[in-house]
Structure 1
């Protein structure tokens, strides 16, 4: 029979070794976690570098912008560039144009994406998979080719020099349809069946049962399309003949001189144009992440 005192001594003698092993394992996890955070911080600084540089240039006086060696940070902060740009360009008018284009584009994209994705996800009909495959395959068409086709179509419908001509070609997004289809597929079929049992029409099931359950997905496409329409640059210049109808991003071309560039003005105007996007993203990032995760699960 083993002596209890001897057994206790063996346990006590082995305890320091186990504690040392636990400490080493904990230290290793802490170092790995710290290294991961450092890498993420460096990656974030790398991704934010252009924006931070743009912000720095917008606050610099002209002497700082062209100094050698280049100044990373302004020697003193001045908001003159913002004041001068705001007075040089009619910002309220161009912001109003941008809001009209963005609002119209958002409504059309959300309605058409929801109404197209729902039958592709929940309704059973012949050729459903073929239709979805053809839709997804159109994403490989080069944007330059689509630009020519869109222009010819808009010209044929006499929609040149109009806000509708800007919005209509991108009113249907295949990516948004794909995203919403995956989101709808994540909803159990029992919910749709219960609506049918209660005598609800297909439209009522879609509008009152399904659409409220895919709000995170709607938030995703709303944010993506908001950024896309707000930053529209080339297509409005192609479609619009009247520069007074330009959205804000296209109107910033007025800051480019014929023989010189005022980089402080350009930087300040760009910061003012992207500021609404940053604010909207910060306010809706939670819904954006929920929508992305829901689409992936679906």
Structure 2
């Protein structure tokens, strides 16, 4: 018995050592491109293509950040990006919550058919609808506006599905109690259900923040004036005019990534809770 009790802790330590070693190696592998880009942003361009590639900078130099900040009007492009991102996040949260509530709680004829058709559209690639989206935006007279950038992705089927799963996790008795107190469906949805699905709302907010912040191609198609470009699209100026100044390109990319990292750090707990709740549902 004494031998067994001694072997068990040893095997447990060995198992955890192997698991954490694999996790660390996987994390380093996933972070490799980001670390290389960060290293490039802190070094002169001539040191970019060293062999082997330098994951850590040979010496730290912040001149790339200062130069690219002076070359590009970052405050203006960040403001444009914040406008597009705010519109996209608010519209997705509001519309997905409104659409998911009846699909999860109410009983009406054709409910399962509507949900099935919504899920079926997820197999259609986003690029396949780009021409239709452009023609629609043009017909509405929204070319060159931020509404035209946000409207095609104002709500996504994935967000509706996520909120439906979250609403289904709310006890049905809660809605019954609201009905007994004389509350209507809108008040029940707003005051009783929404406070209980905050983690799922945080997941949508984070995913849409990243998607809208990194949106590159669609704003380039819709917006006519380069002064209205978001940050991801405006960074193409560095690729075009400074195609060999990789230090500037890396520095600009790092600046554009920092807000996403900050938002994720503040919403990480809600993201994990919302994702776990969606899978459980």
TM-score (norm 1): 0.92
The 5 A counterparts of 1:1-298 are 18-68=1-51, 70-257=53-240, 260-298=243-281
C-alpha contact (below 8 Å) 1:95/1:247 kept by paired residues? yes
Check the 8 A contact 1:59/1:264 in 2, yes or no. yes
Distance apart, 1:219 and its partner CA: 0.3
Cα offsets for 1:7-60 (capped at 9, x unmatched): xxxxxxxxxxx1112111221111011100111111111111111111000001
Report the secondary structure of 1:166's partner residue. Answer: helix
Residues 30-39 or 57-66, more deviating: 57-66
Q: Residues 72 and 286 from structure 1, CA distance in 2 versus in 1: closer, same or farther, beyond 3 angstroms?
A: closer
- Which consecutive aligned stretches of 4+ in structure 1 deviate over 6 angstroms post-superposition? none
**Is contact 1:57–1:263 with CA below 8 Å preserved after alignment?**
yes
The equivalent of 1:4 in structure 2 is: none
Which consecutive unaligned segments of at least 5 residues does structure 1 have?
1-17
The number of equivalent residue pairs is 281
Name which one, 1 or 2, has greater alpha-carbon Rg: 1
Q: 2:193, 2:52 → 1: CA distance?
A: 59
SS at match of 2:219: helix
Unpaired runs of at least 5, structure 2: none
CA RMSD of aligned residues (A): 1.2
Question: Structure 1 residue 213: deviation in Å?
Answer: 0.7
Q: Distance in 2 between matches of 1:114 and 1:56?
A: 42
- Could you say if the C-alpha distance between residues 69 and 291 of structure 1 is closer, same or farther in structure 2, counting changes exceeding 3 Å? closer
Contact 1:64 1:74 in 2 (8 A): no
Deviations 1:55-92 (A, max 9, x none): 00000112322445543332210000000010011000
Change beyond 3 A, Cα 1:259–1:183? closer
- Helix, strand or coil for the counterpart of 1:256? helix
